[in-house]
Structure 1
Amino acid sequence: MAPDLLTLFAEPSVALLYFMAMLLLSGAAFFMALGQRLRGAQERAAATYTWASLGVLAAWLALMDGALAVLISRQPSAAIMPPLERAVMALAVIFSGYAFWRAESASVLPADHSRKRRITASALLLWALLAILAAAYAYTAYAWYTAFEPQAAFNQSPLGMAWMLGSAALCALWTLLLLLSFRRVPDAPLKLLFCLVLLAGYGYNAYGILSQQIGGNEVGILRLAFLIAMPLLPVAIYRMVVRRLVQLADERAAQAAVSTLTNISTNLLDTTVDRESMTLLKAIGTMIERESPEDLPRQIAIAAASVVKADIAALLVVDDQEYADVLAAFDVVQQRAIAAMALKLDEQPTLQQALSSRLQQCLSADQNLNEMVDLYTRLDIQKIGPVYFQPLTREGDLVGVLVVALPYTQRNLRESERRLLESIAPAAARLLLISREAQRARLEAQRNAAQALLESADSAEQPLSSTASVRAEMQASLELAR
């Protein structure tokens, strides 16, 4: 009877082509996976595919070695090859199914103990299946070889039925595991097709044996099923390689973008630092624009408003525990000095916090409305807006508080502007300290001069030269104060 498609691969000439095709497919899968694995240690999926495809390739090579051993030893082929070929097919199913199930799904598991447990469990399953397969083949090969008779048929023997059912159970196991991990396994439908094709081949082979259509040692149907299913292994590996290359390209593009943004940010930071330095120098120049110590508080307020582009700036000093006196206040929008009332500290808890912490604090309408209303009322401003308190310290001692407000523009200071406000604080504190010391020295000189005049008026007999010396002393004190 001429062979049909289902029994064609049982012919020796076609069987040789089948074995060569299996070697080529498994070899292609191995070298594709190995090439991707050599790209880096992070290629865990490629590593799994590499070992699995190497196992499949080694299995088919073992089958070819068995055939050569039969030719060299001149032993009956039917006494050695049927158990070996069933074992090789089962081994290919184990390695391919494991690679399809775990190679890429393990990489998407969360990096915790559950992932380690799952990987360990899958490895134990693989080793258990390999151990069972090795033991089963050793027993089958020995039992079949010792009891071999020329007319014996492996397909109808209990050993042959056991191998067929066991291999079908392996296909069903991988099908079930792929279905359970369907969402985590890339290309799950393609991998399921591999298992289903082999499962169909084993099922049809069992039907042919039970219906007496297939006898002897024929495995043509199984070879056809493997010839259809095995190309899916290199296809799956190829798709994995493409995914990884695309992912690596995206990662490198993202790294390049991050590097570019970092360089831009660094350049912008350098430019910002230079710009802030120039702004600070300009502010210090504004503070010392006038030589008179009495003008320093007003110049400090104007410089602070100019630096951060504020609407209003004021300079406070705290000489007692209840009030903060306003040394100077300036309205930048209306270009006028403000005659402000002292702030009562009990009504300004945020200001008290700034004084105690020596850190910049902010008033906002949604959180500090009452404080803002009180502050703007004492500054004689009808509108309200964000307010910033910047303490001025010198060698750890509080010198004063710089206040900037934005009632007209109704905006918050940017982070760079808040840094600028902090940056001018040391210079402002130093100049404020100089101004107050000069004012105290002037007042002390005036008191000394007045006291000297009173003493000279009480002494009627004082000589004229003594009066002249007193006047000279007063003049020297005034010059020192200036």
Structure 2
Amino acid sequence: MTPSSNFFNMLVVSPGNLIYYLAVFAVSLAALFMSLSMRKRGRVGYIYTLATAGTVIAWTLLMLSALFALVASMSPDAILPPIDRLVQTLVILLLSWAFLTANHERFGRVGPVLLLILMAWTAIGYIVTGIEWASAYNTQDFNSFTYGSTWAVIPLLISLVGGGICIFFFRVIKDAPLKLVFFGILIIGYAGTLITTSQGTLVGDYSGIQRTAFLAAMLLTLGIIYREVLDTFETAPQAALQPASQRVEAQPSAPDASTLQPLPVVPPVVPERESAQLMKALGIMLEKASPDAIPDRIVQATLNTLKAEIGALLSLKMAAMPRFSLAMTAP
């Protein structure tokens, strides 16, 4: 066995297979939480949240199947190999749909409808494979099984089509180079599985190169979603300012100057008047000033000043009353 084969088989034999499942599940959860932070972004956040939530549900289904095999005292080889291929195919379908349609509406409703049809056909294929595998897992490996190669061809075709769409709509699909790398990694993994299977060198129920490529593609998915999250944070301040600008535009325009009635000008209180009152108050305080009479003179000066101020205020109020009456009686 070559060193490269030993490296890829690390994720097939124990404890590498457990590390693989836990790593992929952790990456799927991280992708879901990152997508949830974009849930207020409209179409992009909605599609990525659906795709990553479906990914987590698919891997949860696989882990529950493994738990069921342990509880029912069944061999894991009787259940896990077909479900492993099913989950990988469903995840590739979901992520391909998100990567190719989230940032534009070029495909309209074709994308979701096609996704549902392909997922339904994948589920039917799993049922057929599971029934056949239940009676054959004791005598042969899944890689050499009748439907074993089919479960490598289907993800390979999905990756090829996804990569082709990325190239054809390169200017429309956001982060198209990263998504091309995503599909390229999957193409290498599943094509390598088919090549080694045809050469008879791939034994067992799982493919190390396939799992390595799938894990690498899932890690790259985190990078793609992270870039979407960054874009959300960059556009959030602009979206927050939009209502303010709309409110400014919604304000009524200034009334026409021709419709305004000129208001009487109230003469301002000039500083000379204040100076005169101050001098008058000082004169009252100093008139007949004596040490015993100073407090009384201060009180008298204060009262006289207050009387003058109150009189001025009342005169202004009385002058404003006719304007108020005219405004109330105007049609």
Query: TM-score of the superposition, structure 2-length normalised?
Result: 0.72
Residues 272-295 of structure 1: per-residue CA shift (max 9 Å, x gap): 7389876xx9xxxxxxxxxxxxxx
Query: Matched residue of 2:8: which SS?
Result: coil
Residue 36 of structure 2: aligned partner: 34
1:89 aligned residue:
88
Q: What does residue 313 of structure 2 align with?
A: none
Q: Tell whether 2:176 aligns with 1:188.
A: yes
Cα distance, 1:180 vs structure 2: 2.4
Which residue identity does 1:166 align to in structure 2?
I
Which residue of structure 1 lines up, in the alignment, with residue 226 of structure 2?
A: 238
The residue correspondences of 1:15-414 to structure 2 (distance < 5 A) are 15-37=17-39, 39=40, 43-106=42-105, 109=106, 118-149=107-138, 151-256=139-244, 259=247, 269=254, 273=257
The percentage of aligned residue pairs carrying the same residue is 28
Out of 5, 8, 28, the position equivalent to 1:6 is: 8
The amino acid that maps onto 1:91 is L
**1:103 and 1:261, CA in 2 relative to 1: closer, same or farther beyond 3 A?**
closer
Q: CA deviation at 1:26?
A: 0.9
Determine if contact 2:185/2:216 at 8 Å carries over to the other structure. Answer: yes
CA distance in structure 2 between the partners assigned to 1:223 and 1:162 by the alignment: 16
Cα distance between partner residues in 2 of 1:222 and 1:27: 21
1:201 to partner: Cα distance:
0.3
Q: Distance in 2 between matches of 1:147 and 1:213?
A: 20
State the match for 1:343 in structure 2.
none
Any conservation in 1 of the 2:11–2:212 contact (CA below 8 Å)?
Answer: yes
The alignment partner of 2:148 has SS state of helix
One-letter amino acid of the counterpart of residue 193, structure 2: N
Deviation, structure 1 residue 211: 1.9
Aligned residues: 262
Q: List alignment gaps of at least 5 residues for structure 2.
A: 265-331
Instruction: Map 1:423-442 to 2 at 5 A.
Output: none
Does structure 1 retain, via aligned residues, the 8 Å contact 2:37–2:229?
no
Structure 1 counterpart of 2:119, one-letter code: L
Q: Which has the higher contact order (CA 8 A, sep 6+)?
A: 2
Q: Once the 2 structures are TM-superposed, how far is the Cα of residue 254 of structure 1 from its aligned partner? A: 4.9
For residues 406-446 of structure 1, the C-alpha deviation after alignment (integer angstroms, 9 at most, x for no partner) is xxxxxxxxxxxxxxxxxxxxxxxxxxxxxxxxxxxxxxxxx
1:81 Cα deviation from its structure 2 partner: 1.3
Structure 1 SS opposite 2:119: helix
- Alpha-carbon shift at residue 86 of structure 1 (Å): 0.7
Question: Partner amino acid for 1:9?
Answer: L
Q: Distance in 2 between matches of 1:166 and 1:261?
A: 55
CA positional deviation for 1:203: 0.8
- The Cα offsets for residues 330-375 of structure 1, whole Å up to 9 and x where unpaired, read as xxxxxxxxxxxxxxxxxxxxxxxxxxxxxxxxxxxxxxxxxxxxxx
Q: What per-residue deviation string (whole Å, max 9, x for no partner) do you get for residues 1-48 of structure 1?
A: 6872111111221111111111111111112212321x3xx6111111
Counterpart code for 2:50: W
User: Contact conserved, 2:38 with 2:44, CA < 8 A, in 1?
Assistant: no
Q: Which structure has greater strand proportion? A: 1
| Partner SS for 1:5 | helix
Structure 1 counterpart of 2:38, one-letter code: Q
Q: Partners of 1:212 and 1:246 in 2: how far apart?
A: 52
Aligned counterparts of 1:202 and 1:131: Cα–Cα separation in 2 = 22
| Matched position secondary structure for 1:168 | helix
Aligned counterparts of 2:191 and 2:230: Cα–Cα separation in 1: 34
Alignment deviations for residues 119-159 of structure 1 (CA, whole Å, 9 cap, x no partner): 2211221011011100000000011102332x411111221
Q: What 5-or-longer segments of structure 1 have no aligned partner?
A: 110-117, 282-482
After superposition, the CA RMSD in angstroms is 2.6
AA at the equivalent of 2:170: F
**After the TM superposition, which parts of structure 1 deviate over 4 Å for at least 4 consecutive aligned residues?**
257-263, 274-278
Corresponding letter in the other structure for 1:89? Q
- Output the CA distance in 1 between the equivalents of 2:159 and 2:74: 32
CA 1:261–1:167: 2 relative to 1, 3 Å: closer
Scaled by the length of structure 1, what TM-score is found?
0.50
Contact kept? 2:8, 2:212, Cα under 8 Å: yes
Q: Greater shift after overlay, 62-71 or 85-94? A: 62-71
Letter in 2 for 1:120: R
Structure showing the higher helix proportion among its residues: 2
TM-superposed CA distance for 1:93, in Å, is 0.6
**Residues in 1 aligned to 2:60 and 2:46: alpha-carbon distance in whole angstroms:** 21
The 8 Å contact of residues 32 and 53 in structure 2, kept in 1 or not, is answered as: yes
Say which SS state the counterpart of residue 7 (structure 1) adopts. Answer: helix
In structure 2, the CA distance between the partners of 1:257 and 1:274, relative to structure 1 (3 Å rule), is: farther
